[in-house]
């Protein structure tokens, strides 16, 4: 074993490695240790030197290496802490690299503890993060055929990219061997470990589809994956290029960082989208499902060469997800969603000075404005030409990286559309082309009415009442009626009462929910009508209605609490945590307040996922149910891997520290916290 403790500076340092070296296939045989939150394994890379080179680099953050060999001979290498650097006089030709490694990743590989000492393990590699847990390549241009084998305890499912070739038992563990057939960028490499039920289906094109849920959620399979197979079949047909990866899986994991992630062949998504038939109304997986699947063409098959061209992934995935939803929910849904995103983009453009073709563009710009650009292009050149260009684009650049000009070149082959003007308007300008957008949207009758409604925002209610009445009585799409209810929010109750009653009598859950959201002060003569919202098949509506009824009618609080005492809600327990906080804040209601306090505090503990914990903490603090355990659980939030939850923890502590008594309480619990928690709290105390 040889070590070199200096770096060689060559002209190569200023050029991309992919011009000199092509890594082709890798086999990684991995073992996971949940107790130590570590990964170790043996790695076997096949690579070709294209041009002579003296340093070859593999991205590898905070790893330890041993048995590093090239072509069965000990290799000279440097471990910089960020890279494994192989030093030598490498000449053109095929080579074989092997090594062992261990890592305790600070990010990208997550070990989530579950009750009864169970665990879920999953990865998130978007950006440059896979190299935290597997020696790989942050450069998306280096595409490799990955074959991972993973050993883990029996009783768990283990999932990775590609086809499961074999599963072998070794004592109390199984070894799961996965194999890919085509190359991909490292950021879509994945593994997931958990106790899941699995259901298999076949697409129309005979691709194996596998859908996973935790054992406890087996009854939620139908609403969670209601449209998954339909989406797969639709996208294959719409895109015009066969799904390129052989098998497709979808797996929900706990405390996932985002809505979903398009790891090749095996999408991970957040458990918030695991719903029952009632939860489906407010929070279904359909859009995320379609978006992540679309990435298997736009992102995984062809990959944007740099973040400047990120819209070629996110804009495309967003647009094709919208097309899939159009197939499922219809034209009115499709156009209404485009209308809503247009309003968001227009509003954001007042302050957002970064256009689509810029690596620093916002998610709204990359995703929604990128999708809008594709909608305009699709409508402008026609469906036949658009599909022909997409098909040619995907086939020409399959398993390669692309830029915007590559895409435009395929458009030029099928149309003489002015792409220079299009690029300046939609990709290089921060303004939103409202006239063009409205002209396209106005092809839909519901949007024609919606535009009329929006023009009346500054018109007196007396002057628009008849139009509103007529529209609420019509069969126009629900979002138009929701827009009317939104306009009524600041009107005097007596003037709008008849319109609210009409909205309620539509019996449309979304319209009724808008009434619930916009009528926070409920008059007595509307109470009975508003109370009917408690029976709507919508956990979100029930949460809104229960809270505002409880606030507005103290004499009826016990009645509302009795009605809702067995409600649970979504899998983040939104209704149960609300009920507990309301019950504890209602004098003389609870016979066992200590038990209720204990239950609510338990929801804020590490036993539950971050969304549940945050729900509980928000309610505990809002209703001033605070003790040392609550404060400890709040500090624990600051160490969580989900940045949204840790930020909530920090911001809430900052707010509480303004109170001298709360500051004293935090200082009192400090010695009993873990070292990580002490570090976070000390920082906040010193601010």
pLDDT of residue 128: 77
Using CA atoms, how far apart are residues 423 and 357, in angstroms rounded to an integer?
A: 9
Question: Is 106's pLDDT higher than 70?
Answer: yes
Would residue 434 count as lying in a domain?
yes
Nearest to 676 by CA among 645, 620, 637, 624: 637
412 in a structural domain:
yes
- The verdict on residue 29 lying in a domain is yes
Mean pLDDT across the chain: 96
The enclosing domain of 74 has a CATH number of 2.60.40.1730
Q: What pTM, to 2 d.p., does this model score?
A: 0.95
For residue 393, what are its two tokens? Answer: 């684009």
Q: State how many domains the chain has.
A: 2
Residue 548 lies in a domain: no
Is the domain of 184 the same as that of 309?
no
Extract the tokens encoding 162.
């590609």
Sheet-wide strand order for 53-59: 2-3, 76-79, 83-90, 53-59
**Tokens coding 684:** 């906040």
Residue with the two structure tokens 């261990």: 102
Q: Enumerate the H helices of 474-609 as residue ranges.
A: 478-487, 493-504, 509-518, 524-531, 539-552, 557-564, 574-584, 593-603
Q: Does the residue 319 lie in any domain?
A: yes
Domain presence at residue 436: yes
C-alpha 306 chain-centroid distance: 21
- pLDDT for 495 equals 97
- Tell me the CA end-to-end span of the chain in Å, nearest whole number: 49
Sign of CA dihedral 194, 198, 203, 205: positive
With cut-offs at 50, 70 and 90, classify the pLDDT of residue 127. confident
Out of 188, 206, 225, a domain closes at 188
Judge if 10 and 147 occupy the same domain. yes
Q: pLDDT per residue over 210-220, tens digit each?
A: 999 999 999 99
- pLDDT at residue 12 in the model: 39
In a domain, 306, yes or no: yes
Question: Does 149 reside within a domain?
Answer: yes
H or E segment to which residue 25 belongs: strand 21-33
pLDDT tier at 637, thresholds 50, 70, 90: very high
Name the residue range of residue 62's domain: 1-106+126-188
On whether both 143 and 17 belong to a single domain, the answer is yes
Q: Domain boundary residue among 153, 173, 188?
A: 188
Q: Residue 530 is inside which H or E element, if any?
A: helix 524-531
pLDDT tens for 371-414 read: 999 999 999 999 999 999 999 999 999 999 999 999 999 999 99
CATH number at residue 428: 1.10.390.10
Residue 607 neighbours by CB distance under 10 Å: 12
* Residue-wise pLDDT tens digits, 546-578: 999 999 999 999 999 999 999 999 999 999 999
* Closest C-alpha to 39, from 139, 115, 151, 146: 151
Would you list the DSSP string of 229-290?
Answer: HHHHHHHHHHH-S--SSSEEEEEEETT-SSSEE--TTEEEEEGGG---TTGGGTS-SHHHHH
Q: Is the pLDDT of residue 135 over 50?
A: yes
- Boundary-marking domain end, from 388, 422, 443: 443
* The residue to which tokens 């327990």 are assigned: 573
């Amino acid at each position: 074993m040889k070590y070199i403790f200096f770096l060689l500076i060559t002209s190569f340092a200023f050029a991309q490695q992919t011009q000199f070296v092509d890594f082709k296939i890798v086999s990684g045989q991995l073992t996971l240790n949940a107790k130590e939150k570590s990964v170790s394994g043996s790695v076997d890379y096949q690579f070709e030197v294209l041009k002579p080179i003296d340093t070859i680099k593999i991205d590898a953050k905070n790893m330890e290496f041993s048995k590093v060999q090239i072509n069965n001979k000990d290799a000279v290498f440097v471990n910089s802490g960020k890279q494994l650097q192989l030093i030598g006089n490498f000449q053109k030709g095929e080579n074989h690299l092997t090594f062992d490694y261990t890592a305790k990743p600070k990010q990208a590989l997550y070990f989530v503890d579950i009750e009864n000492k169970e665990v879920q393990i999953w990865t998130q590699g978007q950006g440059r993060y896979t190299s935290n847990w597997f020696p790989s390549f942050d450069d998306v241009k280096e595409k490799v055929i990955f074959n991972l084998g993973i050993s883990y305890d029996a009783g768990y499912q283990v999932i990775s990219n590609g086809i499961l070739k074999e599963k072998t038992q070794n004592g109390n563990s199984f070894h799961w061997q996965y194999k890919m057939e085509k190359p991909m960028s490292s950021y879509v490499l994945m593994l997931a470990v958990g106790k899941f039920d699995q259901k298999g289906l076949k697409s129309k094109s005979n691709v194996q589809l596998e859908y996973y849920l935790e054992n406890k959620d087996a009854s939620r399979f139908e609403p969670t994956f209601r449209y998954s197979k339909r989406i797969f079949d639709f996208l294959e047909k719409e895109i015009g290029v066969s799904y390129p990866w052989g098998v497709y899986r979808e797996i929900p994991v706990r405390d996932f960082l985002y809505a979903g992630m398009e790891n090749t062949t095996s999408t991970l998504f957040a458990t918030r989208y695991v719903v029952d038939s009632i939860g489906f109304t407010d929070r279904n997986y359909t859009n995320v499902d379609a978006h992540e699947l679309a990435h298997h063409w736009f992102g995984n098959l062809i990959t944007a060469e740099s973040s400047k061209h990120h819209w070629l992934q996110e804009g495309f995935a967003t647009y094709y997800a919208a097309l899939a939803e159009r197939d499922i929910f219809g034209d009115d849904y499709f156009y209404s969603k485009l209308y809503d995103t247009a309003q968001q983009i227009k509003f954001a453009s007042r302050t957002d000075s970064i256009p689509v073709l810029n690596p620093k563009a916002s998610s709204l710009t990359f995703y929604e404005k990128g999708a809008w650009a594709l909608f305009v292009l699709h409508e402008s050149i026609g469906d036949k030409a658009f599909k022909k260009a997409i098909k040619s684009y995907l086939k020409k650049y399959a398993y390669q990286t692309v830029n915007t000009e590559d895409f435009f070149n395929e458009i030029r082959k099928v149309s003489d559309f002015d792409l220079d003007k299009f690029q300046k308007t939609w990709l290089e300008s921060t303004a939103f082309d409202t006239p063009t957008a409205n002209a396209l949207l106005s092809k839909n009758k519901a949007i024609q009415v919606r535009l009329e409604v929006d023009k009346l925002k500054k018109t007196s209610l007396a002057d628009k009442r008849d139009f509103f009445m007529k529209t609420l009585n019509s069969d126009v799409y629900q979002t138009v009626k929701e827009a009317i209810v939104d306009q009524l929010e600041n009107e005097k109750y007596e003037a709008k009462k008849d319109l609210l009653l009409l909205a309620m009598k539509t019996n449309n859950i979304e319209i009724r929910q808008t009434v619930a959201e916009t009528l926070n002060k409920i008059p007595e003569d509307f109470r009975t009508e508003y109370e009917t919202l408690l029976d709507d098949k919508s956990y979100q509506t029930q949460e809104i209605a229960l809270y505002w009824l409880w606030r507005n009618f103290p004499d009826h609080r016990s009645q509302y609490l009795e009605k809702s005492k067995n409600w649970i809600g979504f899998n983040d327990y939104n209704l149960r945590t609300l009920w507990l906080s309301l019950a504890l804040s209602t004098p003389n209601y609870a016979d066992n307040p200590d038990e209720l306090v204990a239950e609510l505090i338990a929801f804020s503990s590490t036993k539950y996922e971050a969304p549940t914990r945050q729900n509980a903490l928000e309610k505990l603090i809002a209703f001033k149910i605070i003790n040392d355990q609550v404060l400890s659980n709040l500090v624990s939030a600051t160490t969580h891997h989900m940045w949204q939850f840790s930020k909530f923890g920090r911001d809430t502590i900052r707010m509480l520290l303004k109170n001298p008594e709360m500051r004293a309480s935090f200082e009192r619990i400090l010695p009993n916290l873990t070292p990580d928690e002490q570090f976070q709290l000390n920082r906040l105390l010193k601010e």
